[in-house]
Structure 1
């Protein structure tokens, strides 16, 4: 017997988040490279980004052949969100002129280990400039534990990036994340919920 799910958000009726989805007209196209193992994780936030942004695409895979889309992106105006030593900080005033030229934002969706694996196997990514943040926004996504202090969910990373690049308000995306957290924790015993949301 197959489980009933919402056709739009793919959550069960009791955890459907569609009432909190607000469509946003982003100028910078967002390309999410998703590790295959992330697709079936209920708490994955990439699909929330895809539901919210008018110009967004999720591509599943691990290497160059999976991500052939990268060959068609403009080299000069496409950036990869990844915190390496060469990364330009989106939140530093000195880089404001460079930000106005960005047309495409590539984001890797996966754990740190899986994101690093995608980076190693997808040499096509090496041709793009990398961007990151000097100051991270507060992590709002407590229900999915991360091993590193500088971890943000895909939704938070995209929301903050688009806010810095094109001043797109992150509030609708954060509201959707709050709705997901509320729905995913609604049936937890109080002591368990408190542990997640403290």
Structure 2
């Protein structure tokens, strides 16, 4: 029997997070390239961004054919959040000033392995300057384990990016993430919950 879902947040009714959703008027448009395997992951945070950010779009796929919309983006003011050797650190003010104005932020939503695959299959992404951070904020997303120490959830990465680029207050996004964690762990068996606490 299928679980009843909230019509707005699309989580199960017993894990509905609508009470913590706050509308945020971001100036930089966020474009999330979501690997198809992430869509049905209950702990995926991209949909949380879509609930809060006024200007946010999720595009599902893994290659140029799926991401044709990227062709229309302005190359000079669009950046891709990805930590490669060419990336400019957003937390370096001098470096950030060379990028401004930034109008579009592209983020890949998937495991490191899947994100790398999307990058390899999507030559359209090579057109854009990559950005990253020299110093990462503390990972708050304890209920989804990551193999790398420099891992952030998609929500955390976007929240930190927008804070650095446009001084957007990340608190409402972090509050929503905290609500998701609280709702998800509340219904876990004690032995499962112990792994994350």
Partner of 2:143: 143
Distance 2:135 2:119 in 1: 23
Pair 1:157 & 2:141 matched:
no
State how many pairs are aligned.
Answer: 197
The answer to whether structure 1 residue 61 and structure 2 residue 56 are counterparts is no
CA-CA distance at 1:29 after TM superposition:
0.2
The answer to whether structure 1 residue 129 and structure 2 residue 129 are counterparts is yes
Residues in 2 aligned to 1:34 and 1:121: alpha-carbon distance in whole angstroms: 13
Residue 7 of structure 1, CA deviation: 1.1
Say yes or no: does 1:168 pair with 2:190. no
Cα distance in structure 2, aligned partners of 1:90 and 1:99: 9
Structure 1 residue 7 corresponds to structure 2 residue 1: no
With normalisation by structure 2, the TM-score equals 0.97
Counterpart CA distance in 2 for 1:100 and 1:170 is: 20
Taking structure 1 as reference, are residues 89 and 64 closer, same or farther at Cα in structure 2, changes over 3 Å only? Answer: same
Alignment of 1:96-135 (within 5 A): 96-135=96-135
Task: Quote the offset at 1:8 in angstroms.
Answer: 1.1
Deviation for aligned residue 1:195: 2.2
How far the C-alpha of 1:193 sits from its partner, in A, is: 1.8
Across the aligned residues of Structure 1 and Structure 2, the Cα RMSD in angstroms comes to 1.0
Structure 1 SS opposite 2:74: coil
Deviations, residues 173-198 of structure 1 (Å, cap 9, x unaligned) = 0000000000000022334323202x
1:13-24 aligned within 5 A: 13-24=13-24
User: Does structure 2 retain, via aligned residues, the 8 Å contact 1:62–1:118?
Assistant: yes
- Indicate if the aligned counterparts of 1:75 and 1:128 stay in contact, CA closer than 8 A: yes
- Per-residue Cα deviation, 1:83-142 (whole angstroms, up to 9, x for no partner): 000000000121232343100000000000000000000000000000000000000001
Note if contact 1:90-1:99 (Cα within 8 Å) is conserved in structure 2.
Answer: no
Distance in 2 between the 1:75 and 1:161 partners? 18
**Counterpart Cα distance in 2 of 1:70 and 1:96:** 22
Q: Which 4+ residue blocks in structure 1 deviate beyond 4 angstroms?
A: none
